[in-house]
Amino acid sequence: MKTQRIIPFLFAALLLVFTSCDKDDEDKEPSRSDLLTTGLWTGSSVYIQGQDISQLLRDSANFDVRQLSTRFDKNGEYRETFGRTIVGTWEFVNNEQEILFDKGTNQAYTVKINKLNATELYYEQEIDGLPFEFRFSH
């Protein structure tokens, strides 16, 4: 009689072990597209050659990067807001190391991704011959 009571528990335990061993989905890293398109990116700082120039830009150019935000959609559209909203297209280029904005237009430009994870996006854009690194966070 005791054996009949134990068999259902053993079966349940074996079932639990075999179903919990398949962790492929849990261990899978999110794609760069998934990371980029998971919410609103808000500007946090601007760097040139390792120096944070955010305050300098606020004081001298009236540019507060904290007022800049961008949302990337999986359909290849982006919305950038800084006082007003600009809508355009984006796509990865160069083995997903760069983002090409507004391909095929006279406003097209490319940025180099320096860092992209679940909470941070850093990209570098050349402006007037200088490499500006814009840092964003969620």
pLDDT digit string (tens) for 74-131?
Answer: 999 999 999 999 999 999 999 999 999 999 999 999 999 999 999 999 999 999 999 9
Look up residue 52 and give its two tokens.
Answer: 């944070």
Report the CATH number at residue 53.
Answer: 2.40.128.540
Residue 9 lies in a domain: no
Burial-class residue 41 by CB neighbours within 10 Å (0-12, 13-18, 19+). buried
Residue 107, domain extent: 32-137
Residue 14 lies in a domain: no
Matching residue, tokens 């997903």: 96
Q: pTM of the full predicted structure? A: 0.79
Look up residue 69 and give its two tokens.
Answer: 């935000």
Residue 8 lies in a domain: no
The Cα 82–Cα 70 span in angstroms is 9
35: pLDDT confidence band, cut at 50, 70 and 90? Answer: very high
Distance from chain centroid for Cα 135: 11
Which pLDDT score is estimated for 88?
98
Look up residue 129 and give its two tokens.
Answer: 């011959």
Domain count, the chain: 1
